[in-house]
Amino acid sequence: MSEAIAKDSTTRALAVALTVAFICGLLVSVVAVQLRPIHKANIEVERIAQLELVLGALSDIGHTQSIENLEARVVVLASGAFDDNLDPVTFDADKAAVRPGTSVAIPADLDLAGLKRRALYAPVYLVRGTNQQIDLVILPVSGRGYQSTLRAWLVMDGDTQTVRALKFYQHGETPGVGARIDEPEWEAQWRDLRAFDDAGVLRIGVRLQAGGAFSDDAEYQVDGISGATRTTQGVDGMLRFWLGEFGFAKFLQRLREEQL
């Protein structure tokens, strides 16, 4: 008799546990569905906040734009072609970069930005002139600094050879030292800086010491920040990576060829 009672108790406990699990799972699913629009709205708010910083940078270089006039596209980094099957508004490159199916490991000798992996795709923004020619290209760039991941928008001229602006929107570098990378005075050094030489060789970089000795690369470099060597090395590696072959190089080459 006691065995039957014990068996019945076990069955009832299992049934209760399964019922509770089912109800909890159902509630989680319902909540997830209800919160999805809020989550998407939050993503859009963050995206707009980031782009407003870029619009401010564009205004500084004489290009008054609105977010509505930015042409958002998604690029296949391996080929440089656009992929219109992906929505640039909802595509999350950071999440894609950590998923094996949507990312690729970066070879150690090419990982100048210290990212280890990158997404197969990247969102970009284009600014077109009245003749529909591309005036500006806005690229998301990121890389490891001294204490954090640096995230910025890199604005290239329509010729895809010249930097028009570099605007940092996220980092956690040391206040008063590495954090100076987002000060207007330092960001202004990137304005109208050549990234490639006449032969198409990537030359952009940061002199490790402010006022350091000039070299053949002087016209492609900005002054570093005193006391922030690791941070400025991170900026240097970030730009060299994203403008290099494992970054946006193929995309920029396509734009050059299509506009010739």
Q: Give yes or no for residue 219 having a pLDDT over 70.
A: yes
C-beta neighbour count of 32 within 10 angstroms = 10
Beta strands 117-119 and 193-194 are: unpaired
pTM to 2 decimal places: 0.79
Q: Give yes or no for residue 96 having a pLDDT over 70.
A: yes
pLDDT, position 39: 46
Please indicate whether residue 5 or residue 103 has the higher confidence score (pLDDT).
103
Confidence of residue 245 (pLDDT cuts 50, 70, 90): very high
Torsion of CA 249, 253, 259, 260, to 10 degrees: 140
CB 139 within 8 A of CB 124: yes
- Candidates 108, 102, 71, 74; CA nearest to 88 is 74
C-beta neighbour count of 100 within 10 angstroms = 8
CB 163 within 8 A of CB 190: yes
| Cα–Cα distance, 143 to 170 (Å, whole number) | 11
Rounded to an integer, what is the distance from CA 194 to the centroid of its chain? 21
Express as a percent the part of the chain with pLDDT over 70: 80
Edge-to-edge strand order for the sheet containing 71-76?
81-82, 71-76, 121-128, 134-144, 149-157, 162-170, 193-194
Please indicate whether residue 228 or residue 70 has the higher confidence score (pLDDT).
228
Instruction: Summarize pLDDT for 169-200 with one digit per residue, the tens.
Output: 999 999 999 999 999 999 999 999 999 999 99
SS3 content of the chain, % helix, strand, coil (to 5): 45, 25, 35
Q: Give yes or no for residue 38 having a pLDDT over 90.
A: no
Instruction: Summarize pLDDT for 52-79 with one digit per residue, the tens.
Output: 777 777 777 667 766 677 899 999 999 9
Rounded to an integer, what is the distance from CA 151 to the centroid of its chain? 6
DSSP string, 184-203: HHHHGGGTTEE-B-TT--B-
pLDDT, position 12: 76
Confidence of residue 106 (pLDDT cuts 50, 70, 90): very high
Residue 74 tokens read as 């998604």
pLDDT, position 28: 64
| Cα–Cα distance, 86 to 73 (Å, whole number) | 8
- Candidates 131, 150, 132, 130; CA nearest to 140 is 150
Extract the runs of DSSP E, i.e. beta strands, from 51-102.
71-76, 81-82
